[in-house]
Amino acid sequence: MISKRLKNIISKLLSDNYYILKKIIFDFQLRNGKWVTLAREVYNRGDGAGILLYNKEKQTIILTKQFRMPTYMNGNADGMLVEVCAGMLDEDDPITCIIRETEEETGFRVANVKKVYEAYSSPGVMTEKMHFFIGEYTEAMKVGEGGGLDSEHEDIEVLEIPFKEAVDMLNSGQIIDTRTIVLLQYVQLNNLLKN
């Protein structure tokens, strides 16, 4: 569906080195009826999915820790980020993606996941929509060490931590990834684990 408030959309490719960065020039009608010409840079890296694995019996969750260059460039002293397991959909549907990413990154093979949200990551600049999941895990589901794919040069540390500790990390500013914050708060609000 095309918005009646948009016209004369021009798209210029700025980069397709890893993902796609375009400059979009367009006419937009303000609420007062006036038309203005605007320009925005839009980054298209595809959609993604993230999951918070939790164990009710042990009252633990699985998180990951890895280097994220953009955070290093914006005040994260060592660039290491504690976050939920997540990945790009590529050509998969969100459920297939998150099951694949969970095994690659954490070593757990989960079969049942529950989608709890979908949301735009940073709508002012990115097209990415994230699909948020939760899933229970047990030790019987452990099929590997995780850590990511060597072919993608991933170096992911798998963290199994008590849920209470994760909430403390959130409250003390040690967890600063939005996806992780959203899913930790979902678990809190729905009383899935004790904290």
Let me know whether 100 and 183 are in one domain: yes
Q: What is the pLDDT of residue 85?
A: 97
Q: Which domain covers residue 28, as residue numbers? A: 6-44
Would you say residue 14 lies in a domain?
Answer: yes
Upper half-sphere CA count for residue 41 (Cβ side, 13 Å) = 5
Average pLDDT over residues 92-96: 96
Of residues 165 and 195, more confidently modeled: 165
Q: What is the pLDDT of residue 170?
A: 95
Report the CATH number at residue 151.
Answer: 3.90.79.10
Let me know whether 18 and 40 are in one domain: yes
Q: What is the pLDDT of residue 3?
A: 85
Query: Given a cut of 90, is residue 100 above it in pLDDT?
Result: yes
Q: What is the pLDDT of residue 1?
A: 62
Reported as a single tens digit per residue, the pLDDT across 141-161 is 999 989 888 887 789 999 999
Would you say residue 194 lies in a domain?
Answer: no
Let me know whether 114 and 33 are in one domain: no
Let me know whether 35 and 88 are in one domain: no
Count of structural domains within the chain: 2
Let me know whether 61 and 30 are in one domain: no
Let me know whether 40 and 99 are in one domain: no
Let me know whether 39 and 126 are in one domain: no
Long-range contacts of 142-145 (CB under 8 A, 24+ apart): 142/107, 142/108, 143/103, 143/107, 143/108, 143/109, 144/103, 144/107, 145/107
What type of residue is 89? Answer: L
Let me know whether 98 and 155 are in one domain: yes
Tell me the backbone φ, ψ of residue 72, rounded to 5 degrees. -60, -40
Would you say residue 1 lies in a domain?
Answer: no
Strand partners, 15: 21
Reported as a single tens digit per residue, the pLDDT across 6-39 is 999 999 999 999 899 999 999 999 999 999 999 9
Let me know whether 161 and 178 are in one domain: yes
Residue 177 neighbours by CB distance under 10 Å: 20
Average pLDDT over residues 105-123: 95
Let me know whether 82 and 38 are in one domain: no
Would you say residue 162 lies in a domain?
Answer: yes
Let me know whether 130 and 112 are in one domain: yes
Average pLDDT over residues 44-56: 96
Q: What is the pLDDT of residue 176?
A: 96
Averaged pLDDT score across all residues of the chain: 95
Average pLDDT over residues 98-115: 96
Would you say residue 38 lies in a domain?
Answer: yes
